[in-house]
A and B are shown apart, each in its own frame.
Chain A
Amino acid sequence: MDIAALLAAVFDPQILLTILIATLYGSFVGAMPGLTATMAVALLVPFTYFMDPVQAVAAIVATTTTAIFAGDISGALLRMPGTPASAAYVEDSYALARGGEARTTLFVSLFSACIGGVVGVLILATATPLLAAIASNFSSDEAFWLATLGLSCAVLVGGPSVPRNFASLFIGLAIATVGIDVAVGHPRFTFGLQDLYGGISFIPAMIGLFAISELLREAGTRPDLSLGKLVIEPLGTAIRNATRRMRANWRGIGRSSVGGTLIGALPGAGADIAAWIAYAVARRVSKTPEKFGTGHYEGIVNAGAANNAGVAGAWTPALVFGIPGDSVTAIAIGVMLMKGLTPGPNIFESDGLLIQTLFGAFLLANIVMLFTGGLAVAVASWILRVPRAILMPSVLLLSMVGAFAIDGSVTSLWITLVLGVLGFAMVRADIPIAPAVLGVVLGEVVEDNFMVSMMKAQGDLTGFFSRTPAAVLGTITLIVWAALLWRSGRELVRAFRTDDTARNANP
């Protein structure tokens, strides 16, 4: 790798400017309650249309990292996590803010986010080329098991209820069956509409499921956005106190950064899951577990580092196998494909410089975030005063432009709207959306590789275990399936029992 070329590519003024603007944008969107990091990236899509590939990916990366951090801002000030990834420790940061330490807790979040992000990128940059070397020997058998494993993970960790996760996944898989199938070239569920021959393109689908559904939900609620009485400490004091808190918790930061990266790398488990798990682990190993949830820095530091580490972790399966680690990388894969980059083991050879630049931009984004994030903390209360009546229609406009920009067809707009309503219905029914998104993205991968393997083995199912790597991956997948079926069975039985008890109690 030519270091000079790499540095030139990363420190290109255009890339630097992109990262700077993207971190500002990420801070803003992340801080708005209800606007998630995924939505921030979905709204970015129409702008990536005018960027070159590195710039587009850098923008996505910088937006995500800062949005995940900025979710803490509204969490601390309003008790309303800006992104789900901040939900784990919202009680702690809100209590601290009420106690007059609003800026200190936000700077602790910012510093943890930065360290978690940097550790995550370093692991990503080291691990992906090694994984790619292994993955270049993968045939359709292994690809099938990997994608299946990804779907199973989505069910395992997508939300608290396994049967609901299954429901979500199957909705996604059903959407993925639309279009011409690659094996025999037969159109399915296209109703003669030529625009559906290529299937439901997943960026419009995702914008619908995430952004439009959230707008519909938002329209029905009237969130209380008053800041109330808030004592805000001087910036200098806050930074000093935050640094002290960081030093006291360095061990937890290290553990949660590494752990967060690994959890983020599981398909379907993004930054939110990483934060929840890191919070739970920190509480378990803490000397003062009873203080968690009452305004304790330990939880904020751990979960705050883990969710930003998870952002980097999610890129690992996305780059190496083309299997998104979370909903953000699912959109990122779509943008990369639009730019002519096919994620997979070959991308490390065919676009090596680009991948290295991506890692560099990732690292840089985490550092630039220190400044733009600090700025966001300084003007936090002002950000939260932007009128919803202006914000939400702008989000709708950007959503529609983004959906249309992908292939310039009106059908995409309909897909976005229909799936937006579907996503809204799912949210109302407490069905998580993330497994459905993975279903849409991976459904085709699973099916294609299944059909290809079946054709190679002439219908012999044992063919899926005849190659050693395939056998290993297949066994792991079967174990995960067994665990899933057991868990959902147990949950359903328990639900029926509670129903019975309730009925017996009230005759």
Chain B
Amino acid sequence: MRSALKLAATTALVTLSAGAALAQDAACDWKPERAVTYIVPWGAGGGTDANSRMLASMLEAKWGTPFNVVNRTGGNGVTGHSAIVNADPDGYTIGAVTVEIDTMHWIGLTDITYKDVTFLGMVDIVPASVLVKADSEFQDLQSLLDHARENPGDLTASGTSLGGIWHLALAGMLNAEGLPPDAIRWIPSQGAAPALQELIAGGVDVATPALSEGKGLIESGDVRALAYMHDSANSALPDVPLTSETLDSGWTLAAFITAGGPAGMDENIACSYSKAMEEIFASDEWAEFKKNRGADVVQMPRDEIEPFVAKTDEDLGAVIKAVGLAAQ
């Protein structure tokens, strides 16, 4: 399997027309009359939480009804995602649906997939990176991969749990470059922060979290970024080499955060949400928020979200099978 994963954000996607046609029939004039619950499957303080809280507060200001953010963590995302898809599709329970919707079912943690979700907006796209400690012998990605090719199993890497998105970023990249997916051994961690601590302490050789998660340590000079797994430069760290240019396979990988509700949501509710979110994402306030986080604003029309998620699902499924993590 040498086909590159193309999870490009706004450009490379073919628009499917089914969703778009539906959207035109509805009036898109629904608005909540009582408090809405906004479920976040990940902990307070993380990137998903920050984006969701900002979005929820702007929806609240727009519609004048409370949007209560509830962190339903646990089970590597299963708990929160289940709470979202099992809710009544009445528009009063929505939440953050993250890239794990495309991995959990392949690994066998749950049966729910992106087909159980009504997607309302694309909140963020978060490409992975390849980081080494500042005093590492590896100056570029190619020398790292060469070393791994000649000494499989010698190097270790971390960034998240086993089978988590940043593990798939590394394993998928090795696989795409024709290396065994475990040529660099994965050491599980409870998220990016402890993984970066291991990297600094010399406990692992490589970390592959989101570039934004390593930004602080890159700027302080403790960590060197060898690659950004994306096809356009990061505006905050424009000098990090892009894997789409440096690798033969053109491999890229990004996690995503969408806003979504349960499947079967009334089209008028869904398009009202997506209209409101599109306005929010185009606002100066949102741009300012994103800039402060060192991230770029993502603007993806609603009808492109589900095909994007479906394509990612297919690609990640292939990686999970290649790595040997797929449920039997």
Chain A residues engaging chain B, CB cutoff 8 angstroms: 136-142, 179-180, 182-185, 187, 194-195, 197-199, 201, 337-342, 344-346, 349-350, 407-409, 448, 451-452, 455-456
Contact = CB atoms under 8 A, between A and B. Distances in A.
A144 to B, nearest CB: 11
B49 interface: yes
A350 B216 contact: yes
A183 B190 CA distance: 9
A147 to B, nearest CB: 13
A469 B296 CA distance: 41
B259 interface: no
B89 interface: no
A182 B163 CA distance: 10
A201 B79 CA distance: 13
Q: Give the 6 A-B CB pairs with smallest separation, nearest first.
A: A198-B74, A340-B45, A197-B75, A139-B203, A139-B201, A340-B44
B185 A346 contact: no
Contacts, number: 105
Interface in B154-187: 156, 158, 161-163, 185, 187
A184 B187 CA distance: 10
Given A137-B201, A185-B163, A197-B74, 5 more contacts: A185-B109, A337-B45, A340-B43, A408-B70, A408-B72
B234 interface: no
Contacts of B189: 182, 448, 452
7 contacts: A179-B75, A185-B161, A198-B74, A344-B197, A346-B197, A452-B158, A452-B189
Interface of B: 43-46, 49, 70-76, 78-79, 82, 107, 109, 156, 158, 161-163, 185, 187-190, 193, 197-198, 200-204, 216
A199 B43 CA distance: 14
A451 B190 CA distance: 12
Contacts of B193: 342, 344, 346
A194 B82 contact: yes
B75 A182 contact: no
Contacts of B216: 349-350
Contacts of A408: 70, 72
A456 B162 contact: no
B75 A198 contact: yes
B187 A345 contact: no
A372 B103 CA distance: 55
A270 to B, nearest CB: 26
A54 B25 CA distance: 49
A194 B75 contact: yes
A377 B28 CA distance: 64
A195 B74 CA distance: 7
A95 B139 CA distance: 74
Contacts of A187: 75
Contact of A197 (B78, B107, B156): B78
B44 A339 contact: yes
Contacts of A199: 74
